[in-house]
Amino acid sequence: MNSNKMQKAIQLYNTLSREKEDFSPIDPKEVRIYTCGPTVYDYTHIGNYRAYVFADVLKRMLEYNGLKVNHVMNLTDVDDKTIRNSQKEGKTLKEFTEFYTEKFFEDIKSLNIVPPTKFTKATDNIEAMVELIKKLLKNNLAYKSADGSIYFDIKKFKNYGRLSDLDLEAQKENASGRIKSDEYDKDNVQDFALWKAWDQKDGDVFWDPSTSFGASTKLGKGRPGWHIECSAMSMKFLGEQLDIHTGGVDLIFPHHENEIAQSEGATGKQFVKYWLHNEWVLVDSKKMAKSLNNFYTLRDLINKGINPLAYRFWLLMAHYRTRINFVLGALEGAETALKRLYGLYIGLGGDIGKIDKEYQKKFKERIGDDLDTPRALSLLWDLIKDPDVSATDKKATILDFDKVLGLDFENIKEEEIPEEVKKLVEEREEARRNQDFKKSDVLRDEINTLGYGVKDTPDGQKISKN
Ligand code: AMP
Ligand code: ZN
């Protein structure tokens, strides 16, 4: 395979340059991707899952193009929210976060998301965070405050604001000059905490680096800030330079901006080559968010009888960089369309032929064009309707596309038709043989009332669920 030619086929929109760029990995043997994972303090809502479905399609697309991918995703299991909520429930931080981590794993499975090469928990990597903070202190980019917390000094990092296109001078300083919380917003662009000194609100959640990880450190009893978690874990498992870093657009500032400052401040090297961000899932034109209480969980959808893959399909119907408005009706529409696709796929019969090269080429072009899933899906419909491609080859080609789309065509089973319906279909067969079309129509109506449709084709009657 000609790898140069292959890689030219892929274009990705880089938030850093605000342009679509040709993709080429730093190391041709392996693409290194880091995805900011969930904060495991509650059920992950379906807006969040856009970020993970997007990262999944990205990874599948790269693999489809013959590239090996090393994908790391973190689990934020220590921050302000996890501590606060575990205390509210009277559980240890570990007990509490492990519960939501399990739920997250169940959800990604039902969305047919391929697990990353590695999941990594923040609490398993405190030492790497401490080491990184020590480097930043040594490089004079961080300082210790009166309460013992360590802050990053953003004025000393000249590229601060490049990713989010911030003009620091234009930002007003707030009174304290520092923000200790993980949850601050764009109006307060200030130094951020790398290490938070323990206070009573943290209860028994703390680490003491001087006793745990060797002496001679300025870091007293405390815990890491959210931003340092991702810099430390991504570099620990993927090295100092990554190919791709993903997350939702709300992470561009401050989280990813801060990751760049921390990582590049420590290594002096470019941290990430391509920054990719998905747009929001909205509800009534507002971001779906826990804080706005306008969210659905995947469980809510399942309880309504909706297949989680219909949500995946609905996401793929839009480009990842466009905002999409979530309404239950639209999702139900997507589910109907997906069922139709599955039905048509089953109708192609049991044999699998050869991948149609023309369609495969077009699919590669579309999906490689910054993951244009809407156009890739329309190609799938074109293929299904194409009279010049045999049923067996269609089947092989759909399974090939599905390596990227992940709609799980491979495991679709024909729905079991109830005995009652089967009997009526047999009777109708006989009525038609006897040219008793009146009876045949009556039987059709009876089949309909049982929730099934019947169609007469040259190969006989075809039954489908209404
Ligand atoms: P969090 O657990 O809040 O850090 O969010 C996990 C991921 O979901 C991040 O990449 C967020 O940017 C992303 N995200 C959060 N809300 C939405 C939304 N409404 N639509 C799309 N992505 C979102
Ligand atoms: Zn992160």
The three-state DSSP-derived secondary structure of the chain is CCHHHHHHCCEEEECCCCEEEECCCCECCEEEEEECCCECCCCCEHHHHHHHHHHHHHHHHHHHCCCCEEEEEEEECCCHHHHHHHHHCCCCHHHHHHHHHHHHHHHHHHCCCCCCCEEEEHHHCHHHHHHHHHHHHHCCCEEECCCCCEEECHHHCCCCCCCCCCCHHHCCCCCCCEECCCCCCCCCCCEEEEEEECCHHHCCCCECHHHHCCCCCCCCCEEECHHHHHHHHHHHHHCCCEEEEEEEHHHHHHHHHHHHHHHHHHHCCCCEEEEEEECCEEECCEECCCCCCCCCEHHHHHHCCCCHHHHHHHHHCCCCCCCEECCHHHHHHHHHHHHHHHHHHHCCCCCCCCCCHHHHHHHHHHHHECCCHHHHHHHHHHHHHCCCCCHHHHHHHHHHHHHHHCCCHHHCCCCCCCHHHHHHHHHHHHHHHCCCHHHHHHHHHHHHHCCEEEEEECCEEEEEEC
pLDDT tier, 54 (very low <50, low <70, confident <90, very high otherwise): very high
Q: What is the pLDDT of residue 3?
A: 46
Determine the distance separating the centroid of ligand 2 and the alpha carbon of 176, expressed in angstroms.
25
Q: Which of 102, 91, 104, 97 is nearest to 77 (CA)?
A: 97
User: What residue's CA is closest to ligand 1, atom 7?
Assistant: 48
User: What residue's CA is closest to ligand 1, atom 11?
Assistant: 248
Query: Is residue 8 pLDDT above 70, yes or no?
Result: no
Average pLDDT for the chain: 91
Identify whether residues 380 and 440 lie together within a single domain. no
User: What residue's CA is closest to ligand 1, atom 15?
Assistant: 48
Identify whether residues 365 and 241 lie together within a single domain. no
User: What atom in ligand 1 is closest to the CA of residue 246?
Assistant: 10
Query: Is residue 230 pLDDT above 80, yes or no?
Result: yes
Query: Is residue 55 pLDDT above 70, yes or no?
Result: yes
Determine the distance separating the centroid of ligand 1 and the alpha carbon of 375, expressed in angstroms.
25
User: What residue's CA is closest to ligand 1, atom 20?
Assistant: 280
The bound ligand whose nearest atom lies closest to the alpha carbon of 38 is: 1
Identify whether residues 268 and 140 lie together within a single domain. yes
Identify whether residues 272 and 368 lie together within a single domain. no
Domain boundary among 380, 395, 411: 411
User: What atom in ligand 1 is closest to the CA of residue 248?
Assistant: 12
Query: Is residue 44 pLDDT above 70, yes or no?
Result: yes
pLDDT tier, 6 (very low <50, low <70, confident <90, very high otherwise): very low
Query: Is residue 38 pLDDT above 50, yes or no?
Result: yes
The answer to whether position 380 is within a domain reads yes
Determine the distance separating the centroid of ligand 2 and the alpha carbon of 81, expressed in angstroms.
15
Identify whether residues 425 and 398 lie together within a single domain. no
User: What residue's CA is closest to ligand 1, atom 2?
Assistant: 38
Q: What is the pLDDT of residue 147?
A: 86
Determine the distance separating the centroid of ligand 2 and the alpha carbon of 229, expressed in angstroms.
7
Determine the distance separating the centroid of ligand 2 and the alpha carbon of 424, expressed in angstroms.
58
Determine the distance separating the centroid of ligand 2 and the alpha carbon of 102, expressed in angstroms.
19
Determine the distance separating the centroid of ligand 1 and the alpha carbon of 137, expressed in angstroms.
31
Q: What is the pLDDT of residue 169?
A: 61
Domain boundary among 262, 287, 312: 287
Domain CATH for 398: 1.20.120.1910
The answer to whether position 453 is within a domain reads yes
Query: Is residue 1 pLDDT above 50, yes or no?
Result: no
Determine the distance separating the centroid of ligand 1 and the alpha carbon of 35, expressed in angstroms.
11
Q: What is the pLDDT of residue 216?
A: 62
Identify whether residues 128 and 263 lie together within a single domain. yes
Identify whether residues 376 and 448 lie together within a single domain. no
Residue from 15, 33, 44, 48 whose mutation best tests the ligand 1 pocket (most atoms within 8 A of CB):
48
User: What atom in ligand 1 is closest to the CA of residue 255?
Assistant: 4
The answer to whether position 456 is within a domain reads yes
Identify whether residues 378 and 439 lie together within a single domain. no
pLDDT in tens, 143-200: 998 888 999 999 899 999 999 987 666 554 443 444 555 544 323 347 899 999 999 9
The bound ligand whose nearest atom lies closest to the alpha carbon of 228 is: 2
Identify whether residues 70 and 132 lie together within a single domain. yes
Here the tokens at position 424 are 């009526």
User: What atom in ligand 1 is closest to the CA of residue 35?
Assistant: 10
The bound ligand whose nearest atom lies closest to the alpha carbon of 255 is: 2
Write out the residue range of the structural domain in which residue 432 sits: 419-465
Determine the distance separating the centroid of ligand 1 and the alpha carbon of 174, expressed in angstroms.
27
The answer to whether position 321 is within a domain reads no
The answer to whether position 168 is within a domain reads no
pLDDT tier, 10 (very low <50, low <70, confident <90, very high otherwise): very high
The answer to whether position 272 is within a domain reads yes
The bound ligand whose nearest atom lies closest to the alpha carbon of 262 is: 2
Q: Residue 79 pairs with which residues in a beta bridge?
A: none
Identify whether residues 263 and 405 lie together within a single domain. no
- Per the CB < 8 A criterion, the answer to whether 272 and 260 are in contact is yes
The answer to whether position 122 is within a domain reads yes
Identify whether residues 9 and 119 lie together within a single domain. yes
CA 57 to chain centre: 8
Ligand 1: residues whose CB is within 6 Å? 36, 38-39, 47-48, 50-51, 247-248, 250-251, 278, 280-281, 287-289
Q: Which has more confidence, 414 or 437?
A: 437
Domain CATH for 127: 3.40.50.620
User: What residue's CA is closest to ligand 1, atom 23?
Assistant: 48
Identify whether residues 139 and 30 lie together within a single domain. yes
Determine the distance separating the centroid of ligand 2 and the alpha carbon of 386, expressed in angstroms.
44
Q: How many domains, in total, are found in the chain?
A: 3
Q: What is the pLDDT of residue 450?
A: 82
Instruction: Give the mean model confidence (pLDDT) for residues 99-128.
Output: 98
The bound ligand whose nearest atom lies closest to the alpha carbon of 233 is: 2
The answer to whether position 221 is within a domain reads no
Determine the distance separating the centroid of ligand 1 and the alpha carbon of 51, expressed in angstroms.
6
pLDDT in tens, 360-369: 999 999 999 9
pLDDT in tens, 428-464: 999 999 999 999 999 999 988 887 888 887 767 877 7
User: What atom in ligand 1 is closest to the CA of residue 295?
Assistant: 19
Query: Is residue 261 pLDDT above 90, yes or no?
Result: yes
Instruction: Give the mean model confidence (pLDDT) for residues 28-54.
Output: 97
Q: Which of 206, 192, 221, 254 is nearest to 83 (CA)?
A: 206
Q: What is the pLDDT of residue 27?
A: 97
pLDDT tier, 7 (very low <50, low <70, confident <90, very high otherwise): very low
User: What atom in ligand 1 is closest to the CA of residue 280?
Assistant: 20
The bound ligand whose nearest atom lies closest to the alpha carbon of 74 is: 2
